[in-house]
Amino acid sequence: MAQTQLLEVPVKGMDCAECALHVQHAIEKLPGVESVNVLLSSEKAIIRLDPARVDVPAIRKAVESAGYSVPDAVTPPSASTVRFSRRITTLLAVVFSVVLSIVVAGEWLGMFDHLNALIPLPIGIALVIAGGFPVFRNVMRATLRRQITSHTLMTVGAIAALTVGEWVAAAIVVAFMRIGDYVERFTTESARRAVKELTAMAPQTARVERDGVEAEIPIAAVRIGDTVIVRPGEKIPVDGEVIAGHATIDQSAITGESMPVDVGVGSRVFAATLAKLGSLRIKTLRVGEDTTFGRVIKMVEEAETHRADVQRLADRFSAYYLPVVAGIAALTFLISRNPLATAAVLVVACSCSFALATPVAMLASIGASARRGVLIKGGRYLEALARADVVLVDKTGTLTLGRPQITDVVALNGMSSSDVLALAASAERYSEHPLAEAVRAAARAHNLSLFEPEYFEAIPGMGVRAKVNGNLVAVGSRRLAPAIESSLPIAEQLEAQGKTLLFVAIDGEPAAILAAADTLRPEAPAALAELRNLGVRRIELLTGDNERTAAALAEALGVQYRANLLPEDKIEVVREYQARGHTVVMIGDGVNDAPALAQANVGVAMGAAGADIAIEAAHIALMREDWALIPDVVRVARRTMGVVRMNLAFTAVYNLVGLTLAALGVLPPTLAAAAQSLPDLGILANSARLLRQR
């Protein structure tokens, strides 16, 4: 069986969704190519192929035959490049407005008729061919490949104008074709902006110490295990573990959180974060694309492959739109016998605006969200989130902090709470159970001195036994300390509050009941209330905890609940709601909830920074543990879909009006050419609002 390989190939020259489709078709025809995804936003093709049958030179030749190019190397964009493209976009809009005003005035004053009479037709034809040569060449190539583009129709319109001797009209059509190309290019560039801003944040070099010598080397040359040195004000270039030093780190590039964090020996640090104060020596664990930041960029780039249903609908519409326009043009000529009206119909049709209406908005939201620490894998999940009506929530590590704390110490038989807590913490000294750490933390909080156990035994599923200061101490479940049966009324009262109990026996006699509770995230209740205000009809808690614990937490939050669930049970709950026609959001920590996250229409993982399974399993990953992000991302999804619908409606109405006016002879070819470029600017202006949302 042939071994397949995944290859990424940069592609230059793509300005619209139509361009990406042409590149995809060209590569798909190569023998040995299994699948192709062409990403307009990041200007590359992701190809699964058989390396024994197809190679990069063959792919390069196919891309070039489609009218595009494969560069030998890709230079990462800088922030200044991004700002430059913004200034050019503004300048382009001004130039377009001035040219449009001149064309309108010239048409109204009849200046173009005088120009037609003044300059001989052969010279006019030569001017049109010279000015439109790049466009005509691409149209000819597309025609030889049996492809029809929007430029094909406009070229036919220009030829129709030349046929009746209106070379000025043809020249203006060509001029606006060229201007339209630049408008589309910078509209697409605006959509790419968020991705490029992210990419520009990635460090390109690292200061590495090898054999006692420091050297600054390219990121590609850094190896796992290398010692990287980071000085104040420098970006951390790798994911790794601090082995020396202390610093204050700005992690906003990963988590979106502006508050800095302090790190020291043993702390995990991430690439693209900034060391504001202090110096660090870091043992490299991950480099380049394997770092958390590298995975963030890759997710944002590849989000384009997970297209929303509305985007696929627009793509299908675009495929049928051009033949329909050609039919309208033919009908116009048959009825009116007016070649200029026919040319105007061909020229005014704008298919690219339909193709751009959805991806420009989606990419703007996905890129802007990534800068705030919210990774969205594609427009499909934004669209699903916008219509979600059921939210299922995991408990431990999601609604709660996942770190139990001792809330009650009930001493029995005349013992003091301090004495019994000191003995229990000493017995738990070498246990790795989370509840054991809670007991030790409680002892530290009361400044209690612990004893060294003379004997220690961990009993799976029950607790621990240890000999401490001459006493045999047992800490664990009821089965480990059956002598505490007489205390059950107190135990039931504590369990009714949703707390987990540890029973302590000393020398076989009941000594204490310790109650532990996982702390609820303080922002969770307000976030759940906000989800209800946003129209989520049902919120349900799914947990493996016992009935009493689940009921207490659910009552406090005002939500439904299901208790004693295994991971496979959570999947069945998701499927149950989906079978009833609901759009389900599952929120978990991305570890034991991974199957349910993958099954849900939208799986949201909390605190995914550095956690591979969370990033892989979820459709949306929150890089920091902040429930306030949940209603925020729902609002982003709904606002994005509102912008998409507005883009599509504007484009449909604009084209309908333009085609009608052109067919009736009201819109001459010169103004039709100008009108053809306006929808792209409208889509750009409308979608740009999503880059600024908070």
List the Cα angle 465/468/474 in 5-degree steps: 25
8 Å CB contact between 303 and 366: yes
What CATH number did the domain enclosing 466 receive? 3.40.1110.10
Q: How far apart are CA 607 and CA 40, in angstroms?
A: 30
Residue 92 pLDDT exceeds 80: no
Confidence (pTM): 0.68
Name beta bridge partners: 208.
215, 228
**Are residues 181 and 314 part of one domain?**
yes
Pairing of strands 602-605, 584-588: parallel
289 DSSP assignment? G
Residue 419 pLDDT exceeds 50: yes
pLDDT (0 to 100) of residue 114: 59
Let me know if residue 72 belongs to a domain: no
DSSP-derived secondary structure for 181-228: HHHHHHHHHHHHHHHHHHHHTS--EEEEEETTEEEEEEGGG--TTPEE
Q: How far apart are CA 247 and CA 596, in angstroms?
A: 38
**Are residues 598 and 572 part of one domain?**
yes
Let me know if residue 273 belongs to a domain: yes
Let me know if residue 82 belongs to a domain: no
Let me know if residue 382 belongs to a domain: yes
* Confidence band for 112, pLDDT divided at 50, 70 and 90: low
**Are residues 162 and 307 part of one domain?**
yes
Out of 503, 520, 537, pick the residue that ends a domain.
520
Mean pLDDT of the 124-143 span? 79
For the chain, the 3-state helix, strand and coil shares in percent, each to the nearest 5, are: 55, 20, 25
In sequence order, which residues have a C-beta less than 8 Å from that of residue 685 and are 6 or more positions away? Answer: none
Let me know if residue 546 belongs to a domain: yes
The total domain count for the chain is 5
**Are residues 116 and 159 part of one domain?**
yes
* Confidence band for 687, pLDDT divided at 50, 70 and 90: confident
Q: What is the pLDDT of residues 49-88, one digit of tens each?
A: 888 888 888 888 888 877 788 887 555 544 444 443 445 4
Structure tokens at 619: 């459709």
**Are residues 684 and 535 part of one domain?**
no
pLDDT (0 to 100) of residue 204: 86
Name beta bridge partners: 517.
405
| 458 phi and psi angles, rounded to 5 deg | -95, 130
Let me know if residue 209 belongs to a domain: no
Closest CA to 306 of 555, 594, 5, 618: 618
Name the more confident of 221 and 121: 221
Structure tokens at 320: 């049928």
Let me know if residue 480 belongs to a domain: yes
Length of the chain: 694
Q: Is 266 exposed, middle or buried (0-12, 13-18, 19+ CB in 10 A)?
A: exposed
8 Å CB contact between 423 and 617: no
Closest CA to 150 of 694, 651, 668: 651
To 10 degrees, the CA torsion angle through 527, 530, 532, 535? Answer: -130
What proportion of the chain, given as a percentage, has pLDDT over 70?
80
Name beta bridge partners: 257.
none
pLDDT (0 to 100) of residue 577: 94
Mean pLDDT of the 548-560 span? 85
Mean pLDDT of the 285-300 span? 79
User: CA torsion sign, 60 to 65 to 68 to 69?
Assistant: positive
**Are residues 45 and 117 part of one domain?**
no
Closest CA to 539 of 522, 519, 525, 518: 525
Order the strands of the 509-520 sheet from edge to edge. Answer: 400-411, 509-520, 500-506, 471-476, 463-468, 455-459
**Are residues 335 and 274 part of one domain?**
no
Q: How far apart are CA 574 and CA 20, in angstroms?
A: 36
What CATH number did the domain enclosing 612 receive? 3.40.50.1000
Mean pLDDT of the 261-268 span? 86
In sequence order, which residues have a C-beta less than 8 Å from that of residue 289 and are 6 or more positions away? Answer: 295, 297, 298
8 Å CB contact between 583 and 388: yes
* Confidence band for 1, pLDDT divided at 50, 70 and 90: very low
Structure tokens at 599: 């099954």
- Residue 276 belongs to what H/E stretch? strand 274-277
* Confidence band for 127, pLDDT divided at 50, 70 and 90: confident
8 Å CB contact between 651 and 684: no
Mean pLDDT of the 550-577 span? 86
SS3 call for 53: coil
Let me know if residue 439 belongs to a domain: yes
* Confidence band for 423, pLDDT divided at 50, 70 and 90: very high
Name beta bridge partners: 218.
205
pLDDT (0 to 100) of residue 241: 92
Q: How far apart are CA 547 and CA 563, in angstroms?
A: 5
* Confidence band for 444, pLDDT divided at 50, 70 and 90: very high
**Are residues 389 and 339 part of one domain?**
no
pLDDT (0 to 100) of residue 636: 92
8 Å CB contact between 323 and 373: no
Question: Chain centroid to CA 210: how far?
Answer: 37
List the Cα angle 259/263/265 in 5-degree steps: 175
Name beta bridge partners: 603.
586
**Are residues 556 and 440 part of one domain?**
no
Name beta bridge partners: 685.
none
To 10 degrees, the CA torsion angle through 451, 457, 459, 460? Answer: 90
Which residues in 430-529 belong to E strands, given as ranges?
A: 455-459, 463-468, 471-476, 500-506, 509-520
Mean pLDDT of the 40-46 span? 74
**Are residues 646 and 543 part of one domain?**
no
Out of 486, 520, 554, pick the residue that ends a domain.
520
Closest CA to 75 of 130, 10, 132, 5: 10
The mean pLDDT value of the chain amounts to 79
Q: Is 576 exposed, middle or buried (0-12, 13-18, 19+ CB in 10 A)?
A: exposed
Residue 492 pLDDT exceeds 60: yes
In sequence order, which residues have a C-beta less than 8 Å from that of residue 161 and are 6 or more positions away? Answer: 167, 169, 170, 173, 339, 340, 343, 669
**Are residues 337 and 462 part of one domain?**
no
Expressed as residue numbers, the domain containing 379 is: 373-399+521-632
8 Å CB contact between 337 and 350: no
Q: How far apart are CA 253 and CA 370, in angstroms?
A: 9
Out of 520, 549, 575, pick the residue that ends a domain.
520
pLDDT (0 to 100) of residue 178: 74
pLDDT (0 to 100) of residue 79: 43
Provide the annotated active-site residues: 394
**Placement of tokens 């005014």 in the chain:** 348
8 Å CB contact between 112 and 686: no
* Confidence band for 462, pLDDT divided at 50, 70 and 90: confident
Q: What is the pLDDT of residues 497-540, one digit of tens each?
A: 778 788 898 988 888 899 988 778 889 999 999 999 998 989 99
Q: How far apart are CA 220 and CA 554, in angstroms?
A: 50
What CATH number did the domain enclosing 239 receive? 2.70.150.10
Q: How far apart are CA 102 and CA 125, in angstroms?
A: 21
8 Å CB contact between 599 and 571: yes
**Are residues 627 and 644 part of one domain?**
no
pLDDT (0 to 100) of residue 196: 65
Name the more confident of 518 and 482: 518
What CATH number did the domain enclosing 18 receive? 3.30.70.100
User: CA torsion sign, 635 to 636 to 642 to 645?
Assistant: negative
